[in-house]
Structure 1
Amino acid sequence: MSGIISLIKWVLIIIGLIATYYMVSLQMQYGVTSKVISEMVSPKLHPESMAKVYMPMTNTLLDTGDITQASIIKIKVAKDVTNADVEEAMESIATAEGIRSVGMLPLSDMVEIQTGEKQRFLKIFQYCAPRTAMTMVQHSDAFSAYLPCRLALIEDQKHFETGGKEGDRWLYTLDMNFMIYGGAPLPDYLLEKALDVQRVMTAIQTGGAEGDF
């Protein structure tokens, strides 16, 4: 028993030394240690920021090594739903929800015209609630970089190469949790609007993937 306890102590000591080494390295290279500690002692972030944003983002980043994968939400399009069905469903839901379709970008079609080579399907859909958008920008000019809300309908490489016999199509959008919960809590009036936009975009994405409207 004493041998096991001794082993556990040494393991804990080694873990502590490794953690200390990395903290010191970060402090020397980036000066972040004191900042991290101060924020932990006197948090300014939303109380749900770790659970809804930073831990899921970190886990995805460590799993994939791709920061873009860590900041999006993707839904698989049903096999029996055509691209035209997806588009019709999304436009119908957007209209019903009172959010404006402000443009579509048929990227794969454009590249095919430019190169003369067949491309896997990729089309970007853009939506905006103008009054909500202005309210968000009034809070922070940086919100303008998130506008308009976008959804991307994309055919994965395997689906493209097999003519749709294998692989999948996906609807991608940015994870709005980062904007809603990633920093200091939003004012109540803005939080209500942001949550409603998130709800609408989720409805459009889910309905589009299912061809349901």
Structure 2
Amino acid sequence: MEIAKNVRDFLVGMKETLSPEEDQLLSSLQTLHEKYLNIMEDFSVEVSEKALSMSPESRMEAHQLRLKIYQDWRARLMERVFDNSKEIASAEDAKSHVPECDCCCCELTRRLDSYEIVTADYIQAADRFNINRQWEHLQAKYVGTGHADTTKFEWSVNQHRDTLASHLGHSDMMAYFAVAENESMGRVRYNMLEKILQPCGPPPQKEEE
């Protein structure tokens, strides 16, 4: 979804002619519009990075969230710019205002803060959903191998060890563990690999001669 980078272009077509006050207010709000663009860009990048691990439903929800924020931001700009164009001075000097100030610039700034919170919460929720889905898949696939009875914390540790093992050359051993014939064999291999993959720690200090 392409979003106009200039706040004037963003609101194009809403009004044929702008009063001098409205034109000046739009100029003062360009910085806020650029912050909105940055929030949306960061959100899109995070969603793209997690796209392969997200469900189709989650990706659709991310698109809908972007659309809702876009519509809300446009509506807020129209409401504040065209209905409150006499607030130019307050918009230009919003930094000196108290938190409860309801001028155009302050209200839009608070709106941007809420967008940041909503998008961050969505990314965290998507991560939690993904972890739960992977855990359920692991339980269903590896029942009786020693995986299914582990806690979510143990499973996350196992995932970390899998990554570490691939760097240390133990990937074949980890794969063998994953297809253990029964729970007891799986647990034995789990304990064995736990010892193998323990950090070695710093080298022993040499005694001073």
Whether the TM-score (by the shorter chain) exceeds 0.5 is: no
Larger Rg: 2
The TM-score with structure 1 as length reference comes to: 0.27
Which structure dedicates a bigger proportion of its chain to strand?
1
